[in-house]
Amino acid sequence: MCNQKEAPLRIKIGMAHVVTVLAFTGLTGTARAADNVRIGLMLPYSGTFADLGKNITNGFKLAIAEKGGKIAGRDVEFVTLDDESDPAKANENANKLIKRDKVDVLVGTVHSGVALTMARVARSAGIPMIIPNAGADELTGALCAPNIFRTSFSNWQAGYGVGALMAQKHKSAVALAWKYAAGDEQTAGFKEAFEKGGGKVLKHLTLPFPNTEFQPLLTEIASIKPEAAYTFVAGAAQVKLAKDYHAAGLRSRIPLYGAFITEGTLQAQGESAQGLLTVLHYADGLETPRNKSFIESYKKAYGGATPDVFAVQGYDAAQLYLVGLEAVEGDTSKRKEMLKAMENAKLDSPRGPLSFSKSHNPVQDMYIREARGNQNVMVGVAVKQLVDPSPECKMQ
Ligand code: PHB
């Protein structure tokens, strides 16, 4: 059993590049080339965040493929693992990748609760970790460490951007969010900016992750009659929320806002999302040569699929690792030097120039976007170069 081989999948990802991928089989692999760079992708490949996991993976692999499928001259092996967005399995899964599969870097994940456990494991193992989505504030707060980086956002940052926009337009709002770290923290960031701008949050309604029984909460919003509503639910659930909100006749009376509510799902949301305003650190309608070439390259590699913020975050996770490993000419044993290079990285991201705060969280513009057709079109900037102050981060 334990000597059974993992079958390498040959995946073509455009530009005639072929990347060798080791599918995770749950078995101990044998005969791995010792000189390959081993990348552990611990992401959701099932459940409500499955598309996010897929797009992060696509973005990550695209950046490597653009480098000829190698990092600093070394071949790359991917070990992928479906974390099922289940915090209860996170400790065992992260340990599998680090101790058994001996990955050189841990990349993951989407769900804040899973990522918090991964970061604890990565901290004690000292293995580099790059977070391509999960926003948990603690990851670049109390849990910050020289080996932990994030290429996405902190939950505070995502909520704060939306609150800044809503304060320009409304005086009162109700929040509706999943009850877990991402929902609680994004709502807190939203409330901070909204109230700083003179608004008042009348109520914070919650439902358990990944529940989508929105109806009773929508009835409550209708009876409170705020000027606007803020929401954080994500992945497949945001399609249902936009549709339910529209069907309840609330859209015209109480405009709905959020960071992610239209991201990657406009086609499935159809009419229900048209015109929604969101604030996020990427807009697919960003008219820069860098973003245009990224979109073109992604489409070519993945059969015409359009990238979203998750693909960008995955792409930048790979760009960041490339900077680190190239600085040490592929020698992963020079960890300190490698982490230093990552800390000082200035990435040419599709979202715009990307650098990192002292806590290793992105410093980035928060764009105002309007859903038009299948695009989140950039219509302004809510906050320029937003830095999460990360007061809890004490980098050793
Ligand atoms: C999170 O759990 O941190 C999370 C998940 C999905 C998102 C954003 C944040 O779209």
Residue nearest to atom 10 of ligand 1 (CA): 234
Which atom from ligand 1 is nearest to the alpha carbon of 180?
2
Q: Is 44 left (phi over 0), alpha (psi -120 to 50) or beta?
A: beta
Strand 362-372 and strand 277-280: the pairing is antiparallel
206 CA to middle of ligand 1, Å? 15
Which atom from ligand 1 is nearest to the alpha carbon of 110?
5
pLDDT at 32: 40
Which protein residues are within 6 Å of ligand 1, measured from CB? 110-112, 133-136, 182, 234, 260
99 CA to middle of ligand 1, Å? 27
138 CA to middle of ligand 1, Å? 14
Looking at the DSSP bridge assignments, the partners of residue 297 are: none
Q: At what angle do helices 181-196 and 112-125 cross, to 10 degrees?
A: 110
Mutate to test the pocket of ligand 1, among 54, 56, 111 (most ligand atoms within 8 A of CB): 111
Which atom from ligand 1 is nearest to the alpha carbon of 134?
3
Mutate to test the pocket of ligand 1, among 52, 56, 83, 112 (most ligand atoms within 8 A of CB): 112
Q: From first to last of the 396 residues of the chain, give the pLDDT tens digit.
A: 233 333 333 333 333 223 334 333 333 333 344 589 999 999 999 999 999 999 999 999 999 999 999 999 999 999 999 999 999 999 999 999 999 999 999 999 999 999 999 999 999 999 999 999 999 999 999 999 999 999 999 999 999 999 999 999 999 999 999 999 999 999 999 999 999 999 999 999 999 999 999 999 999 999 999 999 999 999 999 999 999 999 999 999 999 999 999 999 999 999 999 999 999 999 988 999 999 999 999 999 999 999 999 999 999 999 999 999 999 999 999 999 999 999 999 999 999 999 999 999 999 999 999 999 999 999 999 999 999 999 999 997
R_g (Cα) of the chain, nearest Å:
20
- Which ranges of 138-270 does DSSP label H, i.e. alpha helix? 155-167, 181-196, 215-224, 237-247, 266-269
Question: What b/e string do you get for 277-315 counting C-beta neighbours within 10 Å, with b at 16 or more?
Answer: bbbbbbbbbbeeeebeebbebbeebbeeebbbbbbbbbb
Residue nearest to atom 6 of ligand 1 (CA): 234
8 CA to middle of ligand 1, Å? 30
127 CA to middle of ligand 1, Å? 23
Angstrom CA distances, 138 to 113, 142, 339, 350, stand at 10, 5, 20, 26
Which atom from ligand 1 is nearest to the alpha carbon of 155?
3
Determine which helix (DSSP H) or strand (DSSP E) holds 381, and give its type and residue range.
Answer: strand 375-386
Rounded CA-CA distance 29/192 in Å is 49
111 CA to middle of ligand 1, Å? 5
187 CA to middle of ligand 1, Å? 12
Which atom from ligand 1 is nearest to the alpha carbon of 114?
2
Which atom from ligand 1 is nearest to the alpha carbon of 234?
10
Query: Is residue 178 a contact partner of residue 159, using CB atoms and an 8 Å limit?
Result: no
Mutate to test the pocket of ligand 1, among 56, 114, 155 (most ligand atoms within 8 A of CB): 155
pTM of the shown model: 0.92
Length reported for the chain:
396
pLDDT at 24: 34
112 CA to middle of ligand 1, Å? 6
pLDDT at 19: 35
pLDDT at 396: 74
Residue nearest to atom 7 of ligand 1 (CA): 234
Query: Is residue 76 a contact partner of residue 82, using CB atoms and an 8 Å limit?
Result: no
The DSSP secondary structure of 131-159, one letter per residue, reads ESS---GGGGTTT--TTEEESS--HHHHH
Angstrom CA distances, 153 to 224, 336, 396, stand at 31, 24, 22
176 CA to middle of ligand 1, Å? 15
- Which ranges of 26-111 does DSSP label H, i.e. alpha helix? 50-65, 87-95
Looking at the DSSP bridge assignments, the partners of residue 42 are: 81
Contacts of 232 (CB under 8 A, 6+ apart): 158, 159, 175, 176, 177, 178, 182, 183, 186, 187, 258, 259, 260
Domains by residue range for the chain, with CATH: 6-153+287-360 (3.40.50.2300), 156-280+368-386 (3.40.50.2300)
Rounded CA-CA distance 231/57 in Å is 26
Residue from 107, 116, 159 nearest 316 by CA: 107
Which tokens go with 257?
A: 């806002």
Report helix, strand or coil for 207.
strand
133 CA to middle of ligand 1, Å? 6
Rounded CA-CA distance 190/362 in Å is 18
